[in-house]
Structure 1
Amino acid sequence: MHPTQKTYTVEEAKRHLERYCAYQERCHKEVQKKLRDMRMIPEAIDLIIHHLLQHNFLNETRFAQAFARGKFKTKKWGKQRIVRELKFREISKYNITLALKEISEEAYLKTFHELAEKRLRQLEFETNIQKKKKKLADYLLYRGWESNLVWEKVHNTCNDKPL
């Protein structure tokens, strides 16, 4: 233990975590980690989390919805990647389902096609069709787009011969 490491009272920790949660949506797992990093005891952690939930600083549904919207809009992630990341953050199946409803099917498919076309333009100098197909598929799959969409796009755009 560092002698300079700050210790917090429950009230100080509450205020600190209120600001932490108000700054951006947080999941329970992040808040618990933050409190453990602040060296709070389990009883204090439970008390503070209860306080944050009661005063709407912490809301798993709101977090999941904001996360899904944000990752889709800014990072252009597909639903599979979003689901995987939310599960990693221990978000309930119910809230994951609600979060995915934040993305309209129309916007989803439009973004998918734009992303695929952008990647194809980056690969225009790749002369080996098989390599080009693999690079396009890997790129889209890594970002969490559904394999049926990816393979259909690969087949339709590099239509020399199917994979």
Structure 2
Amino acid sequence: MIQIKNSYTVDEATKKLEGYCAYQDRCHKEVISKLRAMNMIPEAIDLIVGHLIKENFLNEERFARSFARGKFNIKKWGRIRIENELKYREISKYNIKLAMEEIDSKEYLKSFNSLAKKRLAEIREKDLQKRRKKLADYLLYRGWESGMVYEKVYELVPNK
């Protein structure tokens, strides 16, 4: 069976993307890839993206700020992981800087400490070195700064 891809008029695609952007904040890269998947031509993509920006459906600063807040508060990601994810989404350095301001320093440290303690309690490894490594790997993967991570690892898993 041959599958025929849908084709959209500019108005249909615009309405579809307005809903897509209204549902949750999107970055330009997501919107453009969605339009490409809809087989829109480059001129139509430019026209639709321009309309979405003008009508405030698409706002990169708003996206970056809400992304940083959400990933920190819900997924407990560190600044490094959040920054890398924003760079991957081709967010400007200026907007990344604004997004990082959304993370309160006191909350950041509090969250880091509770996450490290919670994870350490889950690690069943008896060997101290392996225990330290598992904790450090977990925290580094989540994007916490290496200096903080190693300091916390040696504080929570001291030499006996």
- Taking structure 2 as the reference length, the TM-score comes to 0.97
Letter in 2 for 1:42: P
Amino acid at match of 1:137: A
| Aligned counterparts, 1:9-158, within 5 A | 9-123=9-123, 125-158=124-157
Aligned counterparts of 2:69 and 2:137: Cα–Cα separation in 1: 23
- Matches of 1:79 and 1:41 in 2, distance apart? 37
Aligned-partner residue type, residue 80 of structure 2: Q
CA deviation digits over 1:108-160, x for unaligned, max 9? 0000001000011012x321000000000000000000001001001111110
Task: Provide the secondary structure at the position in 2 that maps to 1:75.
Answer: coil
Question: How many matched pairs?
Answer: 159
SS at match of 1:95: helix
CA distance in 1, matches of 2:120, 2:76: 16
Q: Which ranges in structure 1 are unaligned for 5 or more consecutive residues? A: none
Measure the CA separation in 2 of the matches of 1:126 and 1:20: 45
Quote the Cα distance in structure 1 between the aligned partners of 2:139 and 2:68.
Answer: 17
Q: Using the alignment, how far apart are the partners of 1:57 and 1:126 within structure 2?
A: 49
Sequence identity, in percent?
A: 62
3-state DSSP class of the match of 2:74?
helix
Structure 2 spans left out of the alignment, 5+ residues: none
Structure 1 residue ranges (4+ consecutive) displaced by more than 3 angstroms after TM superposition: none
Shift of 1:3: 5.2
Counterpart of 1:91 in 2: which secondary structure?
coil
C-alpha distance in structure 2 between counterparts of 1:86 and 1:71, whole Å:
11
Please name the residue that 1:159 is paired with.
158
2-side partners of 1:140 and 1:7: how far apart? 45
- Helix, strand or coil at the partner of 2:46: helix
d(CA) in 1 for partners of 2:143 and 2:50? Answer: 34
Give how far 1:4 is off.
3.3
SS in 1 for 2:72: helix
Mapped to 1, the partners of 2:66 and 2:45 lie a distance apart of 24
Q: Secondary structure at the match of 1:114?
A: helix
| Counterpart secondary structure, 1:25 | coil
Distance, in Å, in 1 between the alignment partners of 2:60 and 2:155 is: 40
Output the CA distance in 2 between the equivalents of 1:129 and 1:4: 59
- Aligned-partner Cα distance in 2 for 1:105–1:27: 26
* Cα distance in structure 1, aligned partners of 2:148 and 2:34: 39
Give the TM-score of the pair, scaled to structure 1: 0.95
Q: Distance in 1 between matches of 2:25 and 2:12?
A: 20
